[in-house]
Amino acid sequence: MVLGLFGSLLQCGGIERANRLIGAVLTEMARDQGQRCELLSLNEPPGPLSFVMGGRQYSGIGFGRQKLKFVVRALRLAPRVRVAYLAHPNLARVGLVMRLAKPGLQYWVAAHGFETWEPLNPLGRWALRAAQGVTAPSRFTLEQLLQAQGLEPSKVSLLPHGLEVGFADSVLNDPDPPWPSQPGLILTVARLAASEPGKGVDSVIRALPQVLRAVPRASYVVVGDGDDRPRLQRLAKGTGVHQSVHFVGHQSEAELKSYYRKAEVFVMPSCQEGFGIVFLEAMAFGKPVIGAASGGIPDIVIDGATGYLVNYGDVDTLAARLIRLLADPDLRQKMGVAARQRIKENYTFDHFRRHLRQLFESHDASHRAHQPWGRSVRGEDRETAPPGRLAS
């Protein structure tokens, strides 16, 4: 059987979107080979769960944060597991426990971003090193796995995320966002957690006085919520731009897509993105994007072609880039077309599915030949492998 272990499948956030991609591919892979697949989610309410990806429904089991029951279920399944994919570094320790039930069990671990940029505790590093392989969505996270966690290059594979089938397809009955009704919408989609203060929303707010002087019609909408929202609202008021800043909280899928359609520019100058699925989403809607030249964002955004990269915290340059895009519809359209094309060529669900299957298929072939398994990004390849491709 095929087993997937997840922190969450249904909650909002980039990691959760990536988890649903992984869950869909694992389910399809098992189904194609006439095998069983089970998806276990630690933090979902206890009992059966389901989600839709690309028009298809997938199922799993939630454990209501009951860690013991979660681990016991994994242990019971371990003797029958052919492929185990643990979708967060914190779950790697479960892989070690599963080996008690099936000595020699091979498991993969997904790294997402800044949770692996600093050394884990000794047990966490041991669990990663004991994995058959670890996947990283961007070059930056891959390098941090090698440096901070001490992994061997042969252990780490580049696996960029993708978008579900039809994500940006037009839907005529999409709801209109409640505001702003005028053009000039700048959009950010992010979790506003005080524990993740580097999303760059505060930089956008600080850039707005310059932007509004040049483009008075501009307005800034932030989709997402969290305990850092009050601080950001106080900053908007203290900066004098609160009437042009709208925190709209969590939105449904349809409402989120409506904001993407209405936006003229997407911006998230974050310093803590291991990848940044929201950039893919905005680009799929043909929007120019502005991100920080940090983490995994440079893998996605081509500076000057699909948008702009700015240094984290550089408010003046950020303001200048926003003004340029808002004031030049031809430039927005040109960059938006290039952005959409980049998604089609590199970051679709088909790309992600093919890359993940290649990892497991190469494992099966090399495992039968009693050789190290999995495709890896070795030192010489990391310099030349194009973004969005799995280097071999």
- In this structure, the answer to whether residues 239 and 157 fall within a common structural domain is no
**Contact, 2 vs 81, CB < 8 A?**
yes
How many domains, the chain? Answer: 2
- In this structure, the answer to whether residues 198 and 321 fall within a common structural domain is yes
> Can you tell me the distance from the alpha carbon of 20 to that of 164, in angstroms, rounded to the nearest whole number?
9
> Is the model's pLDDT at 383 over the cut of 60?
no
- In this structure, the answer to whether residues 110 and 222 fall within a common structural domain is no
The CA-atom distances, in angstroms, between 42 and each of 4, 133, 233, 255 are 11, 22, 33, 28
pLDDT at 252: 87
* Residues whose CB is less than 8 angstroms from the CB of residue 71 and which lie 6 or more positions away in sequence, other chains included: 94, 97
> Is the model's pLDDT at 142 over the cut of 80?
yes
| Pairing between β-strand 289-292 and β-strand 307-310 as defined by DSSP bridges | parallel
> Is the model's pLDDT at 384 over the cut of 50?
no
Other residues' Cβ atoms within 10 Å of the Cβ of residue 311:
12
pLDDT at 181: 58
Q: pTM for the whole thing?
A: 0.87
User: 9 or 54: whose pLDDT is higher?
Assistant: 9
* Residues whose CB is less than 8 angstroms from the CB of residue 171 and which lie 6 or more positions away in sequence, other chains included: 254, 257
pLDDT at 382: 36
- In this structure, the answer to whether residues 206 and 318 fall within a common structural domain is yes
**Residues of the domain holding 261:** 185-346
- In this structure, the answer to whether residues 59 and 107 fall within a common structural domain is yes
pLDDT at 114: 84
> Can you tell me the distance from the alpha carbon of 340 to that of 285, in angstroms, rounded to the nearest whole number?
7
- In this structure, the answer to whether residues 297 and 342 fall within a common structural domain is yes
- In this structure, the answer to whether residues 336 and 352 fall within a common structural domain is no
| Residue 233 placed within a domain | yes
User: What b/e string do you get for 162-185 counting C-beta neighbours within 10 Å, with b at 16 or more?
Assistant: bbbeebbeeeeebeebeebeeebb
What single DSSP character describes residue 174? P
- In this structure, the answer to whether residues 153 and 228 fall within a common structural domain is no
User: DSSP E strands: which ranges in the chain?
Assistant: 2-6, 37-41, 47-53, 56-62, 83-86, 107-110, 133-136, 156-158, 185-189, 219-223, 245-249, 265-268, 289-292, 307-310
* CA 173 to chain CA mean position, Å: 27
For residue 86, give the CATH number of its domain: 3.40.50.2000
| Residue 358 placed within a domain | yes
- In this structure, the answer to whether residues 92 and 29 fall within a common structural domain is yes
pLDDT tens per residue across span 353-379: 999 988 877 765 554 444 333 333 333
pLDDT at 57: 93
* Residues whose CB is less than 8 angstroms from the CB of residue 99 and which lie 6 or more positions away in sequence, other chains included: 78, 105
For residue 370, with 0-12 CB atoms within 10 Å meaning exposed, 13-18 middle and 19 or more buried, which class applies?
exposed
| Residue 378 placed within a domain | no
**Contact, 258 vs 177, CB < 8 A?**
yes
Closest Cα to residue 140, out of 163, 121, 112, 101?
Answer: 112
- In this structure, the answer to whether residues 323 and 364 fall within a common structural domain is no
> Is the model's pLDDT at 189 over the cut of 90?
yes
- In this structure, the answer to whether residues 74 and 214 fall within a common structural domain is no
pLDDT at 177: 62
> Can you tell me the distance from the alpha carbon of 392 to that of 387, in angstroms, rounded to the nearest whole number?
13
- In this structure, the answer to whether residues 135 and 147 fall within a common structural domain is yes
Which phi and psi angles does 391 have, rounded to 5°?
A: -75, 145
pLDDT tens per residue across span 54-103: 788 999 999 999 999 999 999 999 999 988 999 999 999 999 999 888 98
As beta bridge partners, residue 135 has: 110, 157
* Residues whose CB is less than 8 angstroms from the CB of residue 357 and which lie 6 or more positions away in sequence, other chains included: 25, 29
**Contact, 14 vs 110, CB < 8 A?**
no
Which percentage of the chain shows pLDDT scores above 90?
Answer: 76
